[in-house]
């Protein structure tokens, strides 16, 4: 029995000789492992943190609101089958006059029971809770306090219904309800301009005229409860008291945003790593196939000396396994670092008070097994080829490939290709499968850049549509309660106001057969120009005097189109139903929309027109005076400055886009360099004797470099349109993944995006080719010519 010690030494020598190719493969494989670990690790950590936070603070299962319901109704709510706990609250919106801030801020006041909240319990961060008997002590969200430099003892003013209340902060809190805290009408969190305020229950009831009543309800359910049945019964109880429709966690704003992000992470974990594992397996297949082809005589000699097929197969399989192990280790290190950093960023962005670390090694083991499987599968064909070689056949030179004068040669003659160009073409035709595989590998690098680059154009489209074409107002004033059109005259008299358009938002349930959706109909006066409804080409859709215009997502959810009828069930005190014809389908990227003319909706309600908000166009030179007077307007509950919303939206998305572009650029470059470098190195090893002969015959170094690297250049060029197509497909899948009730992105693919992806890909290919060309320049012609074919 011959010792395997000599094979082990050969294995180490081969790995050192092929270290650059092995490292290129390991980096590609490591990317797959790192992305898998990052996505899977972040997903587990954030989901575990979410579950732990929800459980500790008693995050509710069902949420509801009403205009004004008596506390005696709670006994009936507790009797609903499946209800485990009930928490009634008083809530209200206020305008905040903050020290050092010219613009009015918005606040949402929540009552805090004397014995503490049983559900949605806030978590104390600093200071103490307000005294239950106090009339001016409050606690605020921690991020709001930090953004404004507040702490225990700080004071600010709140204005509600014309009454100015001075509030003293006793402590700062966090809440599972506001992991993602959106101001009214906002699209992104505004820590400085929006705060949640917890006020003692008795003081909150007195402030909003809710003594002996409530207007907000949270329910915790038993595990065996049927949520929809509980919601239906709760709606029936609250309907006489102005109930707006109960909903479960899925429609709670903060939870919905967080869940959308977690679903995106899950999709990334399932889609991206397999691409890297597949490319790594392909590269292993290329390199191992070349090694076996070049070591035919060595394989035959080893078999003649007594090495068994199993030992030789294990030798080559171990080579692939070691390369795979290197990639796995790189991926583990990078993945652990990325997981920790990204999870902390997510926890900070979504305002988690702590982060539950999932230290299980199963994700590392699983990613390692997948990585080894990719390397092993990639090497298997070459290992089987080595095992099947008979000693006599292996030690003999391989049969030279046969060349025939075919259509390609006739085409080349017609095109009058040079000798070098002819050699490049024949090299491609000699190994068509490898050429096609290499082109596919390079195409994936282009595809990653196309699929990631479309976000910039998409976000520009969303911002342009939402903030410049659909919403053209400078500010939206949300009223504390429904008002008559007289308030329009009050706002028009404010400094700097150029135009005022009223808006009426009516909570309803739209139905089409068994399908239904709770939304708010947004009614506007005819001829309004500040808030407009757009189609897919950003053309204005006139809202007709009769009928309703629905956003595309809402129409799809209800299964209706133009001309179809939808039933409108009005909640709150206006308990009525009527049918409307769908007059048009609008394109809307943020939220769900349903639009009517104000007079038409008022006629359906058999009432005079009412308004809930005012859209205002301003002379920006008088902005400070306008904001100062707003704080004195009793009807206004909150103010949305559209410029601030747009800037916050652009800034947040810009930061995310920059991070994503860096990550995807790194990924694409690693893929491209890995594929291009290994392909060029294999060509060099196969054609070294041929190129040395040409060099002796008088070919210059640039000429033989063109022959060697020309194939890679041709394959890189052929990969571009293929990469564009694959990238467009990936972008389309990503658009589908982002299509939710909260947010949608359009598919915007521009020539500049394709060009940028190609330029980066070709530059990376050129860098890999230059690395191989350095080896060609150092080629020892005498040594190469002494080698046997």
Strands (E) located in 720-786? none
Phi/psi region, residue 518 (left: phi>0; alpha: psi -120 to 50; beta: rest), is beta
DSSP class of 4: T
Query: Looking at the chain, how many residues does it have?
Result: 789
CB-CB contact of 518 with 251 (8 Å) = yes
Which two structure tokens, joined as six digits, stand for 16? 């050192």
Q: Could you tell me what percent of the chain has a pLDDT over 70?
A: 86
Contacts of 507 (CB under 8 A, 6+ apart): 244, 245, 518, 519, 520, 571, 572
How buried is 423 (Cβ within 10 angstroms: 0-12 exposed, 13-18 middle, 19+ buried)? Answer: buried
DSSP state of 629: H
Q: Give the span between the Cα atoms of 485 and 610, in whole angstroms.
A: 7
Tens digit of each residue's pLDDT (9 = 90 or more) over 594-640: 999 999 999 888 888 889 899 999 998 898 888 888 877 777 877 88
Comparing CA positions, the residue from 683, 688, 686 lying closest to residue 714 is 683
* End-to-end Cα distance, the chain: 32
CA pair distance 443, 729, nearest whole angstrom: 13
> What are the strands, taking DSSP E only, across 237-282?
247-248
List the one residue out of 615, 560, 549, 559 whose CA is nearest residue 587: 549
| Structure-token match 């980096």, residue found | 27
Q: Which two tokens stand for residue 310?
A: 């199993």
What is the reported pLDDT for 545? 85
The whole-number pLDDT of residue 690 equals 66
- Between CA 551 and CA 188 the distance in angstroms is 21
Contact between 477 and 636 (Cβ < 8 Å): yes
Give the separation between CA 138 and CA 174, rounded to whole angstroms: 14
Nearest to 43 by CA among 203, 316, 269: 269
CA dist., res. 728 & res. 731, Å (int): 5
Closest residue by Cα to residue 766 from 712, 694, 728, 727: 712
Pairing of the two strands 636-641 and 611-618: unpaired
In degrees to the nearest 10, what's the CA dihedral of 614, 618, 622, 625?
0
Q: In this predicted structure, what is the pLDDT of residue 4? A: 47
Handedness of CA 694, 696, 697, 701 (dihedral sign): positive
Q: What is the pLDDT of residue 276?
A: 76
| Nearest Cα to Cα of residue 422 among 431, 435, 412 | 412
Contact 731, 454 (CB under 8 A): yes
Residue 130 burial (CB count, 10 A)? 23
Is the separation of the CB atoms in 495 and 655 below 8 Å? Answer: no
Kind and range of the H or E run holding 658 = helix 642-696
CA 766, CA 769: separation in Å to the nearest integer? 5
Question: What is the predicted pLDDT for the residue at 252?
Answer: 87
Q: Which two tokens stand for residue 282?
A: 């392909």
The SS3 assignment for 619 reads coil
Residue 117's nearest CA partner among 88, 138, 139, 137 is 88
Q: Which residues does residue 505 pair with via DSSP β-bridges, in sequence order?
A: 522
Res 426: pLDDT: 65
| Low-confidence residues of the chain: pLDDT under 70 | 1-5, 185-187, 290, 294, 347-348, 358-360, 392-431, 571-574, 654-656, 684-701, 703-705, 708, 737, 775-789
Residue 328 — φ and ψ, nearest 5°?
-65, -45
């Amino acid at each position: 029995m011959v010792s395997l010690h000599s094979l082990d030494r050969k294995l180490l020598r081969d790995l050192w000789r092929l270290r650059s190719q092995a490292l290129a493969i390991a980096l590609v494989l490591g990317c797959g492992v790192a992305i898998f670990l990052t996505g899977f690790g972040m997903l587990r950590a954030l989901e575990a943190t979410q579950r732990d936070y929800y459980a500790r603070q008693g995050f509710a299962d069902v949420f509801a609101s009403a205009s004004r319901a008596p506390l005696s109704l709670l006994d009936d709510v507790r009797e609903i089958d499946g209800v485990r706990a009930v928490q009634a609250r008083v809530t209200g919106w206020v305008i905040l006059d903050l020290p050092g801030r010219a613009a009015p801020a918005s606040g949402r006041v929540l009552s805090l029971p004397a014995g503490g909240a049983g559900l949605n319990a806030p978590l104390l961060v600093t200071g103490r809770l307000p005294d239950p008997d106090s009339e001016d002590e409050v606690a605020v969200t921690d991020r709001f306090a930090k953004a404004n430099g507040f702490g225990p003892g700080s004071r600010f003013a709140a204005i509600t219904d014309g009454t100015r209340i001075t509030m003293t902060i006793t402590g700062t809190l966090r809440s599972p309800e506001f992991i993602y805290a959106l101001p009214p009408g906002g699209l992104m969190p505004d820590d400085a301009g929006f705060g949640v305020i917890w006020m003692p229950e008795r003081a909150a009831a007195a402030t909003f005229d809710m003594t002996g009543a409530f207007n907000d309800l949270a329910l915790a359910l038993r595990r065996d409860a049927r949520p929809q049945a509980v919601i239906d019964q709760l709606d029936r109880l609250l309907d006489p008291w102005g109930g707006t429709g109960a909903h479960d966690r899925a429609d709670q704003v903060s939870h919905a945003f967080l869940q959308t992000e977690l679903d995106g992470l899950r999709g990334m974990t399932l889609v991206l790593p397999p691409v890297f594992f597949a490319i790594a397996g392909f590269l292993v297949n290329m390199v191992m196939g070349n090694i076996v082809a070049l070591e035919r005589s060595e394989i035959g000699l080893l078999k003649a000396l007594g090495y068994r097929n199993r030992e030789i197969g294990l030798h080559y399989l171990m080579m692939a396994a070691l390369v795979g192990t290197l990639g796995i280790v790189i991926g583990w290190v990078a993945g652990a670092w990325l997981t920790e950093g990204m999870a902390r960023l997510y926890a900070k962005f979504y305002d988690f008070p702590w982060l539950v670390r999932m230290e299980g090694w199963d994700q590392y083991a699983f990613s390692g097994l997948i990585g080894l499987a990719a390397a092993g599968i990639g090497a298997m064909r070459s290992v089987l080829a080595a095992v099947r070689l008979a000693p006599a056949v292996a030690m003999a030179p391989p049969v030279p490939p046969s060349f025939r004068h075919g259509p390609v040669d006739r085409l080349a003659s017609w095109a009058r290709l040079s000798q070098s160009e002819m050699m490049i073409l024949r090299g491609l035709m000699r190994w068509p499968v490898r050429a096609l595989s290499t082109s596919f590998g390079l195409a994936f690098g282009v595809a990653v850049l196309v699929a990631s680059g479309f976000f910039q154009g998409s976000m520009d489209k969303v911002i342009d549509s939402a903030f410049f074409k659909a919403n053209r107002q400078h500010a939206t004033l949300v009223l504390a309660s429904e008002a008559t059109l007289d308030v329009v005259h009050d706002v028009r008299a404010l400094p700097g106001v150029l135009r005022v358009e009223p808006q009426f938002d009516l909570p309803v349930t739209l139905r089409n057969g068994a399908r239904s959706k709770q939304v708010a109909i947004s009614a506007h006066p005819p001829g309004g120009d500040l808030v407009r409804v757009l189609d897919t080409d950003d053309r204005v859709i006139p809202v007709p005097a009769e009928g309703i215009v629905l956003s595309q997502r809402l129409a799809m959810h209800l299964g209706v189109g133009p001309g179809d009828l939808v039933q409108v069930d009005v909640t709150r005190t206006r308990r009525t139903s009527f049918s409307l014809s769908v007059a048009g389908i609008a394109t809307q990227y943020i939220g769900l929309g349903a639009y009517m003319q104000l007079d038409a909706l008022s006629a359906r309600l058999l009432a005079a027109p009412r308004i809930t908000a005012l859209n205002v166009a301003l002379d920006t030179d008088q902005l400070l005076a306008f904001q100062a007077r707003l704080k004195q307007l009793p009807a206004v509950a909150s103010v949305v400055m559209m410029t601030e919303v747009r800037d916050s939206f652009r800034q947040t998305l810009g930061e995310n886009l920059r991070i994503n572009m860096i990550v995807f650029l790194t990924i694409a470059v690693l893929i491209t360099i890995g594929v291009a470098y290994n392909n060029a190195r294999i060509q060099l090893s196969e054609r070294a004797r041929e190129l040395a002969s040409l060099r002796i015959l008088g070919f210059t170094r640039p000429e033989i470099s063109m022959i060697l690297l020309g194939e890679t250049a041709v394959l890189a060029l052929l990969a571009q349109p293929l990469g564009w197509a694959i990238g467009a497909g990936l972008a389309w899948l990503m658009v589908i993944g982002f299509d939710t009730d909260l947010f949608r992105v359009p598919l915007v693919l521009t020539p500049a995006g394709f060009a940028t992806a190609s330029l980066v890909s070709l530059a990376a290919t050129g860098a890999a080719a230059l690395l191989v060309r350095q080896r060609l320049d150092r080629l020892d012609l005498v040594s190469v010519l002494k080698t046997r074919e």
